[in-house]
Structure 1
Amino acid sequence: MATVGESDRTAPDGRRSWPVAAGGLPGGEARWYRRDPLGFVERAAREKGPVFRLPDDGSLCVADPAEALRVLHNEEGHYDEVSDFFHVRGGRLGPRETQVAIGRAARATVRAHLAAHRERLPAVVAELGEVSEWPSAGRAATHRFLAEMLLRPDSPPALRELMARVVGRDVLIRSGGRLARAARLALWARVVRAVTAEVRARRAGRAGPGPGRPGDLLDAVLGSTPPDTPAAQVAQVYLLLFRTSVAPVGHVVAWALLAAATHGVDLAAVPAESAVRESLRLWPVAWLLGRPVHRAHQVGGVRVEPGESVSVCVYLLHRDDRHWPQAARFRPDRWDGPGPRGPYLPFGGGPFTCAGAAVAQTLATGLLAAVTDGARLEVRGGHGRPHVAGIITPPRFQLRRTPTRP
C-alpha cells in the first residue's frame, strides 16, 4: 500500500515494486515495511539477495537456507540462549530451564486434552453452522474445543466468560485503527488483571487438579515456575500460551480452506495432514524468527555485533522456487511420499522450536478433517491482503458448508 507522497507501482509480473518518493528517488522503506512486510521482504530478496537489512530496526534478515539453519541451531554460541517468546513486563521470564519446563508442561496438557476429546471436533464444527465467517470461525472453534483445557470448569465463570470475549472480539490478534487498538488494549489489560487474580487465588489454596479435576494450562504454568515468580508474570506467560494455542491453529485451517479454493484443490480428495503441512509452508505460524546477537560474527558476509538482531525469514525460505517446485502454489500432493523439499520451519527451528508444534499440527489436522468430512465447501471472498502482526492472519472470507450426507 502506498503512503502519502509516494506512488504505488506494480511490476509487469504483478508484484508491487519499491515505493518511490515524489522526487522519483527510492524512499519510505520503513513505512512500506510496516504496512506491507511480506511484500517488502519478497522484493528485497529479489533485488538485494538473501541477506539484507530490515528498515524498521536495522536487524539482518536472512533467507538463505544454510545461513538460516546456522543461526537457528546456534552451535557456535553466537546468539542469546534465552527465548524472547517469554517476554513479560520488566524483561524476559527465565532462566532457560524454567522456559523449557513451561513448554513441556503446556505441551503435555494440550496433548492429554486432545487425546481425550478428539471425537468432539465434528460437533464443534457443526456449531459453526452452514455459513461461517473466517478466520474468526477458526479461532472460535479452536477455543470451543480447548476451553476446558485453557481454564478448568471450576474456574470463576466471569473469567471464563472474559476469555471467551477475548476470542470473540479478535483480541488475540492486533487489529488496525486507533479505536480498535484502544479497545483491544483496554480489554487485554482487564484480562491480565483477572488472570493475575486467579493466579493469586490458586496459590492461596483453591482446590487444584486431582481426580475428576484435570489440570489446565494455567496449572501447567504455575507448576513450572518458581513460587516467588510475580503473579502478574505468571499471568502474562499464561496469556502468551493461550494466544498461541488458539489463534495459530484457527489460522492454519483458514489458510488451507482459502488456498484450496484459490488453487482449485478439492480438500475432500487429499489427506488433511498434507493440506495442513502445505498451509503451514505457505503461511508459517512463525514467519520471522529474531535472534539477539551475543557475539560478533558474520552472516552471509555481513558482520553483526552484540546488541544487534538477526531475523530468519521462514516465509521466504518456504517460497523459494529453487527448493520448492511451484513454490507459490498450494500443492498438498507434494507431501505424499518422498520428493524434493526445501527447509521447512513453520514453528521455528533449533533449540527454540515451538514446544507445542506437533500438538498444534495434530489439532489443526483434526479440525480441518472435521470441516471437510461429509460436506461440500464453498468459499466466498478472501481477496484482501493478509494482516501481519506477529502471525499472518488471512483476509476475511465466508465458508458455506453444505452436508452431502445425513
Structure 2
Amino acid sequence: MDAKDRLRRYLEQRRELGESELVLDSLSIDDVMKMVGAKSSASPTAKSRAQTPADRAAAAPSADGPQAPPSAPVAPPPEPGVRFDQGATTDWREALRNAGAVRPSESLSPPVAATPASAAATGAETSAGAVEADLRAASAMPNTMGEALVTDLPTWLSALELPLGIEAGRLRVIDAAPDVAQLPTLADIAEHVAGCTRCALYKSATHHVPGEGNPTADLLCVGEAPGVQEEEQGRPFVGEAGELFTKILGAIQLSRGDVYLCNVLKHRPPGSRDPLPDEVFACQPYLLRQIELVRPRVILALGRFAAQTLLQTTAGIGALRGRIHRFHGVPLIVTYHPSALLRNESWKRPTWEDVKLARRILDASLSASADTTAP
C-alpha cells in the first residue's frame, strides 16, 4: 500500500466517524480526497450500500481513471524525505502540499497560538475537548418548541453510573408536521408515506420503506436510509447488512419481531447516496411520530445520520458512542450501522459493546418497571 492509499484509507475512516475537517485546519476531507484522486461525492456510508446496475454504471470511473478537479494544480513530485507513510517530514502541511492537497488560493498556516482563556482546548485535549464542547453545545441549545427538557435522571438509570451525553427534547412532530402528528397508528404512517411528496425522493423511488416490527417494542432501532434490496422488498434492514444486524440482535436475545425497525428516510436516495439535509428534514416527522406511537424504553441509533438527526448534533459516532443520550427522556445509544461493519471489521467489537449497553439499559428499565408494579 503506497502513501496515497494510506492517506485515502485514513481519511475514509475519519469521514466514516462523521468528521469533515482535518485537525487544526479548515481543509475539508473531501478536498483532500479529491486532491489525492479519491472519489468524494458521497461518504463511505453511501458507497457501501448495494446499488443497482444503473447506479453502478452511472458511478463507474472513466477509462482514464479518477480525474482531479479542474481547479486542482498538478502535484509536484514529493521532495526527498517527505513521506506520509513513515512520517519523515517535519511539517505535515508541506507534505499535503507536495501531494497536491492544497489549492493555490488556500493555505495551511499554523494555528494561532492559544491565549490563556483558550489553553484548555489545545494540546492533547484538542480532540477530546472538541467532543465535550460539541456535546455540551447540543445539550444547551435553547428549547425552541416551548417544551421543557427533562433534567433529572430516573433512579434506575442513575444507578447504572454510565457516562451521560446529549439530552434532546427540542423536536416535536406536532410542530414540524401537524398532519403527521394526527396519524393514529403505524399503519396510517405507512399509508401516508406511500403518498408522500414532502421531498423529491418520491420521484425516483420504486417503493417506500416505512418500517416494521413490534408496534409496542421496548427497543426501537433507527437506521439511515433504505438500500436497493430494502427498496425492492419494502422492508428495512434486509440484505447482507440486515442479516448481520439480525445476528447482532440474536446475540442479545432479541429477534426482529421483538423490536421495531425503521430508517430516518423512508425512500431510497438515488444511487443509495447519503441523505441530503432537506430530505432528512422532510422525513423527520414520520420518524418522530413512529417513536411517539411505539413508546420504546430504549432507542438504538445505527449510523451517523440516525444519531445526528435524533440528537440534533454534528458530532461523529466516535464522539457519541459509549454514552447514554436521551431523546424526550428515552435512553438512546449510538453505534455503527451494520453496513459499516461489512467494510471495517474492527468496528464489530465496539458495536458489540454498544448493543450490550443498550440491552443492559433495557433490562434495568424493565426491572424498575416490574418493581413499581409489584404488589
Report the TM-score, using the length of structure 1 for normalisation.
Answer: 0.26
The structure whose RCO (Cα within 8 Å, separation 6+) is larger is 1
Report the TM-score, using the length of structure 2 for normalisation.
Answer: 0.28
